[in-house]
Chain A
Amino acid sequence: MIRVRSLTVEFPASAGQMRRVLDQVDLEVAPGELVVLNGVSGSGKTTLLSVVGGLLRPTSGAVEVQGRAVAKLTDTSAAAYRRDTLGFLFQQNYLFDRMSVLDNVALPLVAAGWSPGRIRTRVTETLATVGASAVVDRTIAELSGGERQRCALARALVARPRLLLCDEPTANLDAAGRELLLDLLDERKSSGVTILLATHDPLFDSAPHVDRVVRLEDGRVVTT
């Protein structure tokens, strides 16, 4: 499903210097696997997810998802890849606070050309699966942190992607929310969805449905 080869990412630092965030990373994730990326802050977990998700171009190396070289996709193909193949659950959620839950969750479907009727049906279904169907017409600003996280998860799942990328998914959730998330991830995994998840949360170290934990340190894979 995912094949990462010699991946290096550098960011401009002060005084014209470059800071290497990922250094020659190699990683393979099979279809249907749930892989946890572990490591301290700054180890490169979020950057790795961003490159796999086509949100960031690498400095060198290659990333293939379902046989497609992600970094070489054209704008339209990259958009279609982000829309149809993967769902991305961001640490900060990145929801539009003033807009309704429906409008937020519907964003990938609008881009995919769905009609308003189909969009509402699919969004309602997806919100039900994450336990947030009651808030469909409320604005994000009116929601609690946990409810927002569920909406963000619904947006990541609404197009029923084959790959789910999660960045610190439990950061804003209470105990019940975390249990629900684990159940959801388990359910997705069971239906064949590949999941790559970056987290500090020790909950995932011992979770039964986690296939592998990959540890990153200073931009390098140290244990798989």
Chain B
Amino acid sequence: MDPRSLANLVAAMLVREREKHLGILILAVVLVFLAASVLLLSGALRHEMELALDGQPDAVVQRMHAGRPVDLPVAWADQFAALPGVSAAQGRVFGRYFQEQNGVYFTVVGIDFFAENVGKELEALVAGLDVREFLDGDRMLVGSRVAGFLERGRYGGVYEFRTPEGDPVPVTVHGTLPEETDLVGADLVLVEIGLARRILGLGPDEATDIALSIPNDTEADAVMARIIGTHFDLRVLLRREMSAGYADSFRLRSGLFLLLGGAVLAAFGLVLFQRYSLITGTDRGQIGVLRATGWSVRQIIVLKTSESLVVGLLAYLIGAVGAVVYVHAAGAPGLMGLFLGFENLGAGAGPLHWIDTDALVLLFLFYLLPFTASVLVPTWRLANLDPVEVLR
């Protein structure tokens, strides 16, 4: 067959019988959009979480009293740094700050600008910051959600924290963290470490936990045993355990997506069944006429498959592009909340820039091939009957 003539005929069939194809097109667009949104969002968030984990220290030491973490002497950091296998140890100061009037939490994190930070996450957040200017008075860098909150509350660039004793600590907003950091930093308040101690009520020699750098991963278990040996009330969280924690959290939320994915899959199954049934009904006469006017079985299969391919491809393009816009430009309103419920200032994240192209390719294969092939079997079956039998 001449491909141009075939294309003309396929176009004529699609346009002239658009009502027949429109329903299936809309349904397929919705299914592709939902499936692509779920896959793109989960892929992008997994990517973001992997990046966040990359910035974590190799191990974290916490002091536990009655099963809850408490502050610990920062001097222990030097003690741990001297242990074989540990290249650096640093006391970290952070904590949740409850903003009573509005019932929201900030995460206040102290930065020690005069020490090498263990873990790359903080360094990445303050990269490019003019430290001299930042340390000139009580200043803070805030995440986008905190910035939005302060703006809505008309605080005028200065927010007055309260120490546990009730003393006011006015802090000037120095800047806002870039939106790319929203997944880990939307509710963050970054301040100088001494200021963080004042706001959170820690003594000058206290830290929230101690971060360790353990260059050789195989030594991590031995380091953990030595640290636990020094003080009975210490807990050591290794990087792989934090990774497992992230993964557990992700898997938990992935379960929701799995449910959604299952629903989409079931709907897709119904679409395939509907297509299979449809072709035995309305398309039956068409196939009979084609056979009677000199079309071979192979040519009819090519024609019906082309028709199905155009509908499927169009639905895929509309659905996939819509999903990319929804997830990566609009921030997946609605779906994102399923993932980011842990944030202190509520669900939300900035635009996710990493597009999971593998997921789109996977969806292309697992959607378009069955969709297109769904007409193959009934077409082949009908086309192999005597034309008179099909026409009858």
Contacts and interface: CB of A to CB of B under 8 A. Distances in A.
Contacts of A84: 294
A82 B71 CA distance: 90
Contacts of A112: 294
B359 to A, nearest CB: 38
A39 interface: no
A115 interface: yes
Contacts of A119: 5
B293 A99 contact: no
Given A83-B294, A115-B5, A98 B16 contact: yes
A115 B2 contact: yes
Nearest to B290: A107
Contacts of B296: 75-76, 78-80, 111
A88 B389 contact: no
A108 B294 contact: yes
Interface in A66-120: 75-76, 78-80, 82-84, 88, 90, 94-96, 98-100, 103, 106-116, 119
B17 interface: yes
Given A57-B386, A94-B288, A110-B9, A115 B293 contact: no
B163 interface: no
B310 interface: no
A110 B6 contact: yes
B5 A114 contact: yes
Contacts of B288: 94
Given A79-B299, A111-B294, A159-B294, A103 B289 contact: no
Interface in A134-158: 139, 155
Contacts of A128: none
B285 interface: yes
A108 B289 CA distance: 10
B297 interface: yes
Contacts of A95: 289
A119 B4 CA distance: 11
A107 B286 contact: no
Nearest to B20: A98
A106 B294 CA distance: 11
B1 A113 contact: yes
B295 interface: yes
A163 to B, nearest CB: 13
B298 interface: yes
Interface string B283-308: 00110111111111111000000000
Interface string B9-47: 100110011000000000000000000000000000000
Contact of A107 (B285, B293, B297, B389): B293
A55 B298 contact: no
A56 interface: yes
Contacts of B293: 82-83, 88, 107-108, 111, 155
Contacts of B298: 75-76
Given A56-B388, A110-B5, A119-B5, A94 B292 contact: yes
Contacts of B4: 115-116
Given A113-B2, A116-B4, A94 B289 contact: yes
A103 B2 contact: no
A139 B16 contact: yes
A29 B192 CA distance: 105
A133 interface: no
Interface in B105-139: none
Given A55-B386, A80-B294, A96-B289, A110 B391 contact: no
Given A53-B292, A82-B292, A107-B294, 17 more contacts: A56-B389, A75-B296, A75-B298, A79-B294, A90-B292, A94-B288, A96-B16, A96-B286, A99-B13, A103-B8, A107-B290, A107-B293, A109-B5, A111-B1, A115-B2, A115-B4, A116-B8
11 contacts: A55-B291, A55-B388, A56-B388, A79-B295, A80-B294, A82-B293, A99-B16, A109-B5, A110-B6, A111-B1, A116-B4
Interface of B: 1-2, 4-6, 8-9, 12-13, 16-17, 285-286, 288-299, 384, 386-389, 391
